[in-house]
Amino acid sequence: MSLTIKSFISSDGERFSQIYDVETGGFPLFYATAYIARSVRPKSTHETQKVHLETIKRIYEWEARERINLVIRFQQHQFLLPAEIDSLAQHLGARRRGSKGEVISRGKYNTYVAYAADYLRWLADEVITEANITQIRTAIDRQHESLVAKVARKRGSTSAREQNIIAVRLPEDARIDLQGLFEDPLQGVMRHGDKGPRLRNTVMLRILYETGMRRGELLSLKLGSFRESSGGEGAFLHIERNHHDEFDSRVRQPVAKTLGRIVPISADAERQLIDYRDEWRAEIPGVGFSDQDFLFVNHRAGPPQGKPVTETAFNSALSNLKQTFPALVPLHPHLLRHDWNYRFSQQVDAEGLDFETERETREQLMGWKPNSSMSLLYNQRHIQERANQIGRKIASDTEKRRYK
């Protein structure tokens, strides 16, 4: 058995995926396809669907290894034994690449276990005609609960993890090199053909740094998303929810996970964006110029030229920058989002904003829903520092008494 997951774009722009057995022909696997189409696809994003399919792929591989046919087993009212559930859970957690015995992250493993339990319960209900008989229903539910019980419990202190999130920010040497790159995007670039991609990559990083937006939101920006400054109002970028965008040719479509919003950018970022758009992007053969065409595109000659930058291409561009600027090695897109929140908190303190205004402003700029748990978490920094100031005053008062 050789399984592969293939992704497609429908005529209306919807992304969907199916799982195939390469060795048995060109048809998708029946039960996996039915499950995704009826139970997952109507309520999940394409990326979530692919995680479900990866889970099902691992179940099929486990069946082949153990010489088990779950459809036949369930039709015969035979369910997984405790040892088989242990074996399946171990297979779900095995790392594909690396040394034998290595495991995936706890979060990914827990997702696979939960998705596997849901799929097996659905499969049992699907193939057993008497699934509502009390005895059979109890057996199906017991199998589901036994697999869910394999979810790995979180280790460590929740409070400690939250404190780490609050404190995360860009290392100072990385910040210095990054800001130097913003000031001189083409430093060290000799070949003309490398200048356009370098300016594009620098502008993309600058937008992440200045706005704290997610990578998927950045790669989804279109020409119409950029509004130049006018009438005394500064430039800004408009982030929109864009699932199943019919204008996006990328099968793995970058999407905005947060709410749509408007985010301001600096005057220098605006000038660099205009320079990239009008001088470098405009030179690329086959590139589009409508409001629906993507802002950041591939420059190199070949089939992808003029098409929107993919997540893989963005990651590759970032890796190349890290080779040129070693101080940027710790940098990744989500670190810039954390760092933005750190700098936002500093600005809030400087302006003396109250707690409620801080929370509402942060939620608006990050695209979070009102009373977001992440917003409240970052705002804890403000409360913590106030508590430290009061505590220090109390300690100082004790010190004064001792030296009277």
Q: What is the pLDDT of residue 95?
A: 85
Which of 6 and 393 is assigned the larger pLDDT?
Answer: 6
Q: What is the mean pLDDT of residues 179-197?
A: 93
The token duo for 226 is 């950029």
Tell me the CA distances in angstroms from 272 to 190, 230, 280, 295, one per residue in order.
Answer: 19, 17, 11, 13
- pLDDT of 76 over the 90 cut: yes
**Residues of the chain with pLDDT > 70: what percent?**
87
Are the CB atoms for 299 and 197 separated by under 8 Å?
yes
Type of residue at 137? R
Binned at pLDDT 50, 70 and 90, residue 105 comes out as confident
Q: What is the pLDDT of residue 153?
A: 66
Q: What is the mean pLDDT of residues 383-404?
A: 67
Q: What is the pLDDT of residue 161?
A: 54
Binned at pLDDT 50, 70 and 90, residue 371 comes out as confident
* pLDDT tens-digit readout, 108-117: 899 999 999 9
Q: What is the pLDDT of residue 166?
A: 58
Q: What is the mean pLDDT of residues 332-338?
A: 90
**Contacts of 329 by beta carbon, 8 Å cutoff, 6+ apart:** 174, 322
Q: What is the pLDDT of residue 275?
A: 96
Q: What is the pLDDT of residue 287?
A: 93
- Highest mean pLDDT out of 5-9, 161-165, 360-364: 360-364
Q: What is the pLDDT of residue 55?
A: 94
Q: What is the pLDDT of residue 382?
A: 61
- pLDDT of 403 over the 60 cut: no
* DSSP annotation string for 176-204: HHHHHHHH-TTTT--SHHHHHHHHHHHHH
Q: What is the pLDDT of residue 400?
A: 55
* pLDDT tens-digit readout, 9-23: 777 777 788 899 887
* pLDDT tens-digit readout, 120-173: 999 999 999 888 889 999 999 999 999 999 987 655 545 555 555 656 789 999
Dihedral sign from CA coordinates of 86, 88, 89, 90: positive
Q: What is the pLDDT of residue 258?
A: 66
* pLDDT tens-digit readout, 290-317: 999 999 999 988 888 999 998 888 999 9
* pLDDT tens-digit readout, 50-75: 999 999 999 999 999 999 999 999 99
Are the CB atoms for 324 and 202 separated by under 8 Å?
no
Mark residue 29 as left, alpha or beta (left: phi above 0; alpha: psi -120 to 50; beta: remaining). Answer: beta
- pLDDT of 179 over the 70 cut: yes
**Of 178, 176, 200, 198, residue with least CA distance to 188:** 198
Question: What would you report as the CA-atom Rg of the chain, rounded to the nearest whole angstrom?
Answer: 26
Q: What is the pLDDT of residue 12?
A: 74
- pLDDT of 385 over the 70 cut: no
Cross-strand partners of 294: 222
- pTM of the entire predicted model: 0.64
- Highest mean pLDDT out of 212-216, 352-356, 400-404: 212-216
- Highest mean pLDDT out of 32-46, 217-231, 234-248, 375-389: 217-231
Binned at pLDDT 50, 70 and 90, residue 350 comes out as confident
Binned at pLDDT 50, 70 and 90, residue 45 comes out as confident
Cross-strand partners of 279: none
Q: What is the pLDDT of residue 252?
A: 60
Are the CB atoms for 5 and 19 separated by under 8 Å?
yes
State the chain's mean pLDDT as an integer.
Answer: 86
Binned at pLDDT 50, 70 and 90, residue 91 comes out as very high
Tell me the CA distances in angstroms from 8 to 19, 50, 221, 253, 298, one per residue in order.
Answer: 12, 12, 22, 11, 21
* DSSP annotation string for 147-171: HHTTSPPP-S-HHHHHHHHHH----
**Residues of the chain with pLDDT > 90: what percent?**
50
